[in-house]
Amino acid sequence: MLSLLLLIAGAPLQADPADTAVVLMYHRFAEDRYPSTNIRLEQFQAQLAHLKEHGYNVIPLAHLLAAFNDGRALPERAVVITIDDAYRSIYTVAHKLLRDYGFPYTVFVATDPVDDGLTAYMSWEEMRELEADGVSFANHGAAHRSTSEEGDYASEDERLALVRADVERGWQRLSEELNPVPGVFAYPYGEYDAATAGLLKQMGYISFGQQSGAISTASDPRSLARFPMTESFGGMDQFRTKVASLPMPVLEVGPWDPVVTTRLPKITVTLGDTHSGSPGSRAQTFRQERYEFRVLVDPFGTGQPRKSSAPPARVV
Ligand SMILES: [Zn+2]
């Protein structure tokens, strides 16, 4: 099975319509041995200073959920800070910095590693301490298993039942230990397929992936984009652009399922005027147009562009 994550990054437009947000995703802080999931201390400090100096409104995840569920307005320049996996460096490094800036944040916790007492993770007691200090927690499943993982399943129903059971068990353990934010999920590894995304929606969850992009309240709540913040993607030149991004007005992506079965899938993206932002904003000037292109999937991760890859072709 080949997994393809569509990257529909937000364009750094100047307008600031009030129904958009940028969600940041972190894992580890100042744990320089793990560069693919870590943000270095000086990078993180520079990012937080940038958010404050440039008037970004860092809002709690619950506020963003209320925008989706109840139409609550978002402030301009809204940013949401999320941290996956509950590593100890949240407790030892990140919390004090975030608290000093008064920035709320949410930790997506996979509960099994915590229950197993793995020392890389915070204990429940430490998380309760953070919760008392205003930190919120949310569901990341129990076993930290990819929801699109191939396995030895007798049927698709059995596969989905296992995903459901893991999400339910994660929520149950989290609720026994903390007062988590209901109705929001982060896919482990950012991986999902159309069936599991549909299941999460049916279970009442709004779900986050790990694909880059800004979001709006018109974004598909089965897989909301977040900008991963790591050593190689966390430099200030990139950060400045990412937090200033606005979402592309995507009406439809086909196929929606990020799991593809061919090496050269055809992707169709329809852009249109989905924006309900402030009148006259540049984000409203998109005409409805359809773009078609092929993406060469490289399951061996060589990272080398292949000559057979077709350039993007526009089909209006
Ligand atoms: Zn995770």
Look up the CATH number of the domain holding residue 120.
Answer: 3.20.20.370
Residue 180 has pLDDT above 90, yes or no: yes
Q: If we measure between CA atoms, which residue out of 34, 82, 84, 90 comes closest to residue 59? A: 82
What's the rounded Cα separation, in Å, for the pair 26 and 36? Answer: 11
CA 50 to chain centre: 21
The DSSP string of 155-203 is: -HHHHHHHHHHHHHHHHHHHHHHS-PPTTEEE-GGG---HHHHHHHHHT
Residue 224 has pLDDT above 50, yes or no: yes
Q: Give the Å distance between the CA of 305 and the centre of ligand 1.
A: 29
Of 35 and 170, the structure prediction assigns the larger pLDDT to: 170
Domain assignment of residue 302, yes or no: no
Q: Give the Å distance between the CA of 73 and the centre of ligand 1.
A: 29
Domain assignment of residue 169, yes or no: yes
- pLDDT, residue 33, reads 92
Contact 189, 211 (CB under 8 A): no
The mean pLDDT of the chain is 84
Domain assignment of residue 171, yes or no: yes
Domain assignment of residue 288, yes or no: no
Domain that holds residue 154: 2-248
Domain count for the chain, please give it.
1
Domain assignment of residue 261, yes or no: no
pLDDT digits (tens, 9 = 90+) for 21-72: 999 999 999 999 999 999 999 999 999 999 999 999 999 999 999 999 999 9
Q: Give the Å distance between the CA of 3 and the centre of ligand 1.
A: 17
CA 253 to chain centre: 18
Give the confidence band of 18 by pLDDT, cuts at 50, 70, 90.
low
- Please identify every residue whose CB atom is under 5 Å from ligand 1, which is an ion: 84-85, 188
Domain assignment of residue 301, yes or no: no
Residue 268 has pLDDT above 90, yes or no: no
Domain assignment of residue 311, yes or no: no
What's the rounded Cα separation, in Å, for the pair 45 and 271? Answer: 36
Residue 8 has pLDDT above 70, yes or no: no
pLDDT digits (tens, 9 = 90+) for 194-211: 999 999 999 999 999 999
pLDDT digits (tens, 9 = 90+) for 288-297: 666 666 666 6
Mean pLDDT of 87-92: 98
Q: Give the Å distance between the CA of 189 and the centre of ligand 1.
A: 6
What's the rounded Cα separation, in Å, for the pair 29 and 220? Answer: 30
Q: Give the Å distance between the CA of 240 and the centre of ligand 1.
A: 25
Residue 142 has pLDDT above 50, yes or no: yes
Could you give the percent of the chain with pLDDT greater than 70?
80
User: What are the angstrom distances between the C-alpha of 82 and each of 2, 70, 208, 268, 315?
Assistant: 27, 21, 10, 30, 37
Residue 7 has pLDDT above 70, yes or no: no
Q: Give the Å distance between the CA of 110 and the centre of ligand 1.
A: 7
Of 152 and 196, the structure prediction assigns the larger pLDDT to: 196
What's the rounded Cα separation, in Å, for the pair 96 and 261? Answer: 45
Domain assignment of residue 310, yes or no: no
Question: What is the pTM for the complete model shown?
Answer: 0.83
Residue 238 has pLDDT above 70, yes or no: yes
